[in-house]
């Protein structure tokens, strides 16, 4: 009597085995389609198994950014996977702060890894630009000094970053603002280079385009933060700002703010305006630190362009909260 043997299903692979197999395929595949398929598989595990994916495939993923740079679809998947590793599922057993440090070290310890992300800012593709900016921001959050060094060493590093502010797409501009805020913090050299890339004009253009102080969104707040980074205790940048005519732009912001009437019942708009106004007053105070180089010249420029009178007027504006008017007394 013949016995019919039941077909046995192949044993199930666990996540670790699958990730190891996909990592091997990424490293050995010679065809673009095979590498892309491996990356797509790794992407499906990146959020829940960040340590496993990073340990097996991080260097392969980074090298893929250079290997298939002309293939936009593959670049997008690689960038998405890398971003997921920096932002894993918080409920994952593998999620930890150490992973972000490990990833940032792998990127920042090799100049070419940061350079390739800056190179992506030259491409017109939306996702390549946006994700490259977000990755640079993630690396900078964990290793700020090393990221700053890499940007300074990269060909046209600051030029590429500042040029992002001209991008017609709001998401790209917003990501660029966040990154510029991070990389200019505490770096006098980067502050000077960014300022000489016509950053002041670009920032004021963004502020005006976003509704200025009275109606501006988080974009205006990020712009004011960038101005503060570039001007705080930086005599060279303050001199450049003053001598290239940007004090008049400050006066215009204050004038535009005074021209807009905000009703007491519009609490959201009122809160936004006062937050932006508070930020601008903090910037004005940076020009007026007693004993600093350039303070007298700054005072003279403020008086010449009517800023002193405008600020005093804010102090008597009953529609402005006492908190903001207290800032006015400090500036005046």
Q: Is residue 1 in some structural domain?
A: no
**pLDDT at position 176, please?**
98
Same domain? 311 vs 224:
yes
For tokens 């993630």, the residue is 138
Domain termination site, one of 79, 95, 111 = 95
Does 224 share its domain with 329?
A: yes
Asked if residue 110 and residue 86 are part of one domain, the reply reads: no
* Same domain, yes or no: 75 and 116: no
* Domain match, 90 and 141 both: no
Count of domains for the chain: 3
Q: How many CB atoms lie within 10 A of CB 245?
A: 12
**Do 233 and 295 belong to one domain?**
yes
Question: 202 in a domain, yes or no?
Answer: no
Q: Tens digit of pLDDT per residue, the chain (332 long)? A: 444 444 444 444 589 999 999 999 999 999 999 999 999 999 999 999 999 999 999 999 999 998 888 899 999 999 999 999 999 999 999 988 889 999 999 999 999 999 999 999 999 999 999 999 999 999 999 999 999 999 999 999 999 999 999 999 999 999 999 999 999 999 999 999 999 999 999 999 999 999 999 999 999 999 999 999 999 999 999 999 999 999 999 999 999 888 777 666 777 888 888 999 999 999 999 999 999 999 999 999 999 999 999 998 888 877 788 777 777 755 65
Dist CA 221 CA 278 (whole Å): 10
CB contact at 8 A, 126 and 87: no
Q: Is residue 8 part of a domain?
A: no
Task: Confirm whether 269 is domain-assigned.
Answer: yes
Contact yes or no for 216/177 (Cβ under 8 A) = no
Are 160 and 182 contained in the same domain? yes
Q: DSSP letter at 168?
A: S
Q: What CATH number is given to the structural domain containing 243?
A: 1.25.10.10
Question: Is the separation of the CB atoms in 43 and 77 below 8 Å?
Answer: yes
Among candidate residues 66, 50, 63, the one with its CA nearest the CA of residue 103: 50
Assigned domain for 184 exists: yes
Residues 115 and 154 in one domain: yes
Same domain (yes/no): 101, 91: no
Domain boundary pick from 63, 95, 127? 95
220 and 299, same domain (yes or no): yes
* Residue 257 pLDDT: 86
Please count the other Cβ atoms lying within 10 Å of the Cβ belonging to residue 308: 15
In terms of domains, do 101 and 168 share one?
A: yes
Domain assignment of residue 205, yes or no: no
- Cα separation, 310 vs 321, whole angstroms: 16
The whole-angstrom separation of Cα 116 and Cα 97 is 25
* Residue 9 placed within a domain: no
Give the whole-angstrom CA distance, residue 241 versus residue 228.
12
Q: Give yes or no: residues 276 and 237 share one domain.
A: yes
Q: Are 183 and 190 in contact (CB under 8 A)?
A: yes
Domain boundary among 171, 197, 223: 197
Q: Containing domain of residue 43, as a range?
A: 16-95
Does any domain span residue 204? no
């Amino acid at each position: 009597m013949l016995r019919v043997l039941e077909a046995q299903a192949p044993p199930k692979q666990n996540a670790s085995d699958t990730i190891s197999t996909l990592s091997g395929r990424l490293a050995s595949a010679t065809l673009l389609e095979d590498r892309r398929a491996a990356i797509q598989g790794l992407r499906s595990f990146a959020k829940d198994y960040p340590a496993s994916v990073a340990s097996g495939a991080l260097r392969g993923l980074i090298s893929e950014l250079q290997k298939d740079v002309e293939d936009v679809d593959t670049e997008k998947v690689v960038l998405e996977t890398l971003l997921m590793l920096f932002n894993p599922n918080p409920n994952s057993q593998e999620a930890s702060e150490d992973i972000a440090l490990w990833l940032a070290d792998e990127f920042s310890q090799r100049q070419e890894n940061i350079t390739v992300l800056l190179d992506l800012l030259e491409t017109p593709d939306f996702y390549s630009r946006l994700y490259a900016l977000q990755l640079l921001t993630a690396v900078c959050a964990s290793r700020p000094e090393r990221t700053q060094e890499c940007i300074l060493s990269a060909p046209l590093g600051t030029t590429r970053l500042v040029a992002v502010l001209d991008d017609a797409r709001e998401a790209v501009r917003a990501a660029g603002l966040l990154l510029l805020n991070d990389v200019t913090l505490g770096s006098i050299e980067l502050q000077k280079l960014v300022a000489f890339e016509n950053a002041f004009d670009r920032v004021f253009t963004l502020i005006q385009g976003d509704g200025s102080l009275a109606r501006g969104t988080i974009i205006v707040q990020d712009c004011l933060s960038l101005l503060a980074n570039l001007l705080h205790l930086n005599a060279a940048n303050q001199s450049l700002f003053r001598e290239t005519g940007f004090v008049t732009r400050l006066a215009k912001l204050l004038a535009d703010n005074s021209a807009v009437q905000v009703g007491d019942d519009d609490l959201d708009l009122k809160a936004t305006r006062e937050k932006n106004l508070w930020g601008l007053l903090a910037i004005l105070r940076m020009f007026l630190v007693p004993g600093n180089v350039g303070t007298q010249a700054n005072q003279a420029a403020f008086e010449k362009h009517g800023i002193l009178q405008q600020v005093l007027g804010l102090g008597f504006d009953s529609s402005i909260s006492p908190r903001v008017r207290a800032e006015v007394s400090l500036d005046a």
